[in-house]
Structure formats: structure tokens, C-alpha cells
């Protein structure tokens, strides 16, 4: 969009959010001389931090409810929705009926970014893959940008970007919705895997999976789609994109791709053949960790990153906060924060890494219902030396029932993190692991997964 596009436009930012999802967009739009109104169903008391981040800016607030006039020609020329706002909102429908364009931060960024973009998505692994790619890009060019679904506003970085600045974005399915609507895509896309998740938001699993793979649908033949060949849903991008496809997986397949070769990670792409030492850190342990590393290697090379920068990035990577993060070792007991394992499959991956070296794995699990099937998570625990400490939430009774049917030991249901950790710590012995690996969403008992 030209620099003058937003000047004097009446823009409604729908959803300020407690994680700052609308803060970056609002600040950017004010900087572009737009006339900004922020509206959120939450009241002032719930949005104190987000409002404080916009202190002093010329913004009108309509909080505690939405006004339909903010979504029609009466008060708006453009609506910018927060990713947390569902696409079937009646207020968005009112905007569409009135002919008001609907944007999101990512659609704005993709249009205005002067550099090629690596876009990373998937049900699990996308944050670790994004962070590892970010680490690799920093080795190559210290001015590189890593932003997106990790609390970093991409649009606020636009002014410093040039055509040669490496850019990587972690993208949730919610953020991809706007890219699909506007037929926008990255230069390199990564699809780590696709499992049932957010079924409280989408019509069904197919709708969710189609949205994820939609990241590749607007790509051109000169672009590259990196996909998990071990995952059938992710592999469907091959028949859906015009981009060149580059696979990764545990075993070698015909043609170009990245795979595990003993203690090394190998990439073959045409005449290129690269071999890297596999990092020995918890964040990249197990089959899931190996695939994450392979995805980052394949995407980085497809983007043009030299071999030395990839090798340096792999060596310097320390993992990601909230994902298999070792937070303490006390009295011979290891404490691990894997709060981002909100999907059952992500929690299963965590258990497979944590259980083998543990004496007893003491899991803090349960929480809010995302309409996902918790049976695979319960089944994974059936044969493990594990005790589950359940956190209150709408999904917890069903999880408790699944665990009881499999004779998995459960130690109570807890109404706070402190009480759950206290109980697990009191039971733990030297060599045990106490891990927050919830398999459920956080809402209800906690503000969000990071508060948890």
C-alpha cells in the first residue's frame, strides 16, 4: 500500500486483546495518520496493560461492547481485526455487508514488507522452528526480523526493513485467515504438521487444516513450500500449491529433502548436499525435535542462507520459553514448563521426550476445552510411569474419565498452579520430572497460556 493510503482513513481496530494483539496494529495505524477507534468486548479493567501501551496516542476507545456503527460507513473506512476475533463475527458481517474492507496486521505487513518472507505454521513445532530459523538468520544478518505469533508486532518493524533484510514470521491459523482472504503468501512457507486443534473456532478439522495449508495457496513457482512428509495433512500441500515443494522427515525419500542420518541431519536439494551435527538440547530431542531442526534447515537453505550460518545457528540455539523449557532443578527434581502444549498431540510429543529419562513423570495437565480428542494423550500415558495432577477447567472432567479408564494415576484436581506444583513437588523424589504439559487451553483458571 502507498504510504498515503491510511492518511485520514477512519479505521476500527477490532479487539485490543490482553496479549497486545491489537496494540501493534493500532500504534502503526496512528503512525500512518489514520483516525483510529479501538473496540473490544472486554472492559477497561481487563485491558489495563494494553491501554497503557497506547498511552498518549490519539485513539478513541469503545470498550465493554461493540457498536455496529464502528463497522459501517457511519464511522469506518477500514476494519482491522485482531486474530482472536472469529471470522463469523456478526460485526464483521456487518462490515462486509456495508462494503468495508477487512484487514489484519499480517495482511498489512505482507503487502508492505520490502523483503521476501519465510512464513512458518503448524499445529505443533511452529514456535520452535520459527525461533531456530530466527537464530540462523541472526547468524547470517544481525538485522534480521523474527515476529508474528510470539508477541512481536511485525508492522511496527516495517520502517527499518529493506529488500535485503531477512524476515521470518510465525503464523497461527488465525493470522493466516487474512492472508487466505487476500491471496497473499510468503516466499518460503513451512508447514510443520497439522493435527486437530482450535475446533472451537473452526467448523471442523477439514476447515482448520485447509486454513493452515492455505499459507501455500497464493505462492508462485519461484517460491518454496517446505512440508513434513511424515504428516499426511501437511503433505497435501504438494497438490495444492504452485510453489516448488521441499520435504523433510525422519527417513530419506526420493528427490530433494531433509532427513535424519544417524546422529546427523542431512539436506539434499538438487546438486546441494549438506550435513549438520544434530543439536543435543531438550528442545530438539526426540523425533519431534529432529523434524523441527530439519524444517528449519530446509527453509533456511531455500531462503538462500549459507551453510556456515545454518551450522552456527544450530550450535547457538538454546530452545524457546514455554516449550520444553527447563526452569529449575531442585533437590534432584527437574521442573519443565511446556505450557504451549495446548493440543493433545503436542502434549504427547512432550511426554515422549520427558518420560524416558524420568524416574516418575509428574504431569500438570487439564484445563479449558478446545473440542479436541484427548484420548491419544491419555493413551500415551497408559504405559508410562506417570502421575497426573489435574488443573480445573471445562475439559478436565473428560480427561479425568479417560485417565481412569486407562488406570493412569491421578492426584486430585487443583484450583491454582501453586497448589498443583506444591502437590507434585511434595510427592517428587530424586530423578523425577515435574512438567506442565497440559494438552488443553488455559482460559478460565488463567488469563492465557503464558499466565499459566
Domain residue ranges in the chain: 10-103, 106-316, 325-436
| Mean pLDDT value of segment 308-330 | 94
Q: How far apart are CA 183 and CA 287, in angstroms?
A: 34
- pLDDT tops 90 at residue 23: yes
Q: Are 269 and 246 in contact (CB under 8 A)?
A: yes
Same topology for domains 10-103 and 325-436, yes or no?
Answer: no
Phi-psi region of 302 (alpha: psi -120 to 50; beta: other; left: phi over 0): alpha
Higher pLDDT, 166 or 2: 166
> What residues contact residue 97 under an 8 Å CB cut-off, 6+ apart?
none
Residues comprising the chain, all counted = 452
Q: In this structure, which topology does domain 325-436 adopt according to CATH? A: 3.90.190
Q: How far apart are CA 148 and CA 106, in angstroms?
A: 8
pLDDT value, residue 443: 75
Q: Are 242 and 220 in contact (CB under 8 A)?
A: yes
Phi-psi region of 99 (alpha: psi -120 to 50; beta: other; left: phi over 0): left
| Strand runs labelled E in 137-193 | 145-148, 167-170, 188-191
Cα dist. 429→150, 244, 331, 438 in Å? 35, 52, 8, 22
Residue 20: band (very low, low, confident or very high) from pLDDT cuts 50, 70, 90 = low
pLDDT value, residue 118: 98
| Mean pLDDT value of segment 430-449 | 90
pLDDT value, residue 219: 98
Mean pLDDT of the chain: 95
pLDDT value, residue 199: 85
Residue 105: band (very low, low, confident or very high) from pLDDT cuts 50, 70, 90 = very high
- SS3 assignment, position 44: helix
- pLDDT tops 90 at residue 253: no
Residue 18: band (very low, low, confident or very high) from pLDDT cuts 50, 70, 90 = confident
Q: How far apart are CA 166 and CA 50, in angstroms?
A: 29
- SS3 assignment, position 184: coil
Instruction: Give the DSSP letter string of 209-224.
Output: HHHHHGGGTT--TTSE
Distance from the first to the final alpha carbon of the chain: 39
> Looking at 43-47, 146-150, 406-410, 448-452, which range is the least confident one?
448-452
pLDDT value, residue 307: 98
pLDDT value, residue 108: 97
Q: Span 106-316: which CATH code?
A: 3.40.1190.10
Q: pLDDT, tens digit, for every residue of 352-395?
A: 999 999 999 999 999 999 899 999 999 999 999 999 999 999 99
Instruction: Out of 3.40.50.720, 3.40.50.300, 3.40.190.10, 3.40.640.10, select the CATH number for domain 10-103.
Output: 3.40.50.720
Cell of 20: 497486545
pLDDT value, residue 21: 74
Cα dist. 310→141, 146, 268, 377, 438 in Å? 12, 16, 14, 34, 32
Entry pTM? 0.87
Amino acid at each position: 500500500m502507498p504510504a498515503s493510503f491510511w492518511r485520514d482513513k477512519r479505521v476500527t481496530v477490532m479487539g485490543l486483546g490482553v496479549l497486545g494483539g491489537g496494540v501493534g496494529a493500532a500504534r502503526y495505524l496512528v503512525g500512518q495518520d489514520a483516525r483510529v477507534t479501538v473496540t473490544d468486548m472486554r472492559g477497561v479493567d481487563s485491558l489495563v496493560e494494553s491501554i497503557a501501551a497506547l498511552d498518549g496516542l490519539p485513539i478513541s476507545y469503545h470498550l465493554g461492547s461493540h457498536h455496529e456503527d464502528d463497522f459501517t460507513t457511519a464511522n469506518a473506512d477500514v476494519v482491522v481485526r485482531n486474530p482472536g476475533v472469529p471470522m463469523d463475527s456478526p460485526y464483521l458481517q456487518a462490515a462486509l455487508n456495508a462494503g468495508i474492507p477487512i484487514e489484519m496486521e499480517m495482511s498489512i505487513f505482507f503487502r508492505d514488507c520490502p523483503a521476501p518472507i519465510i512464513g512458518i505454521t503448524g499445529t505443533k513445532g511452529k514456535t520452535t522452528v520459527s525461533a531456530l530459523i530466527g537464530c540462523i538468520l541472526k547468524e547470517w544478518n544481525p538485522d534480521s526480523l523474527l515476529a508474528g505469533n510470539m508477541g512481536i508486532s511485525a508492522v511496527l518493524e516495517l520502517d527499518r526493513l529493506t529488500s535485503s533484510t531477512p524476515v521470518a514470521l510465525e503464523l497461527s491459523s488465525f493470522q493466516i485467515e487474512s492472508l487466505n482472504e487476500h491471496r497473499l503468501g510468503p516466499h518460503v512457507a513451512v508447514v510443520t504438521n497439522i493435527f486437530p486443534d482450535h475446533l472451537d473456532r473452526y467448523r471442523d478439522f477439514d476447515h482448520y487444516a485447509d486454513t493452515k495449508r492455505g499459507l501455500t495457496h497464493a505462492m508462485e513457482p519461484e517460491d518454496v513450500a517446505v512440508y513434513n512428509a511424515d504428516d499426511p495433512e501437511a503433505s497435501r500441500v504438494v497438490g495444492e500449491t504452485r510453489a516448488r515443494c521441499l520435504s523433510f522427515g525422519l527417513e530419506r525419500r526420493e528427490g530433494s529433502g531433509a532427513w535424519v542420518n544417524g546422529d546427523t541431519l542431512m539436506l539434499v536439494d538438487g546438486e546441494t548436499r549438506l550435513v549438520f551435527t544434530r543439536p543435543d538440547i531438550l528442545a530438539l530431542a526426540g523425533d519431534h525435535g529432529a523434524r523441527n531442526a530439519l524444517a528449519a534447515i530446509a527453509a533456511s537453505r531455500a531462503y538462500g542462507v549459507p551453510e556456515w550460518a545454518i551450522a552456527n545457528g544450530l550450535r547457538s540455539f538454546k530452545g524457546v520459553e514455554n516449550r520444553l523449557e527447563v526452569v529449575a532443578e531442585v533437590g534432584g527434581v527437574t521442573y519443565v514448563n511446556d505450557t504451549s502444549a495446548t493440543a493433545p498431540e503436542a502434549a504427547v510429543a512432550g511426554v515422549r521426550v520427558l518420560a524416558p529419562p524420568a524416574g516418575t513423570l509428574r504431569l500438570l495437565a487439564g484445563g479449558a476445552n478446545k473440542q479436541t480428542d484427548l484420548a491419544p494423550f491419555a493413551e500415551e500415558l497408559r504405559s508410562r510411569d506417570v502421575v497426573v495432577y489435574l488443573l480445573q477447567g471445562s475439559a478436565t472432567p473428560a480427561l479425568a474419565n479417560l485417565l481412569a479408564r486407562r488406570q493412569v494415576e491421578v492426584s486430585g484436581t487443583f484450583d491454582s498452579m501453586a497448589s498443583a506444583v506444591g502437590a507434585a513437588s511434595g510427592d517428587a523424589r530424586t530423578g523425577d520430572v515435574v512438567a506442565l504439559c497440559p494438552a488443553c487451553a488455559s482460559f478460565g483458571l488463567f488469563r492465557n497460556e503464558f499466565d499459566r
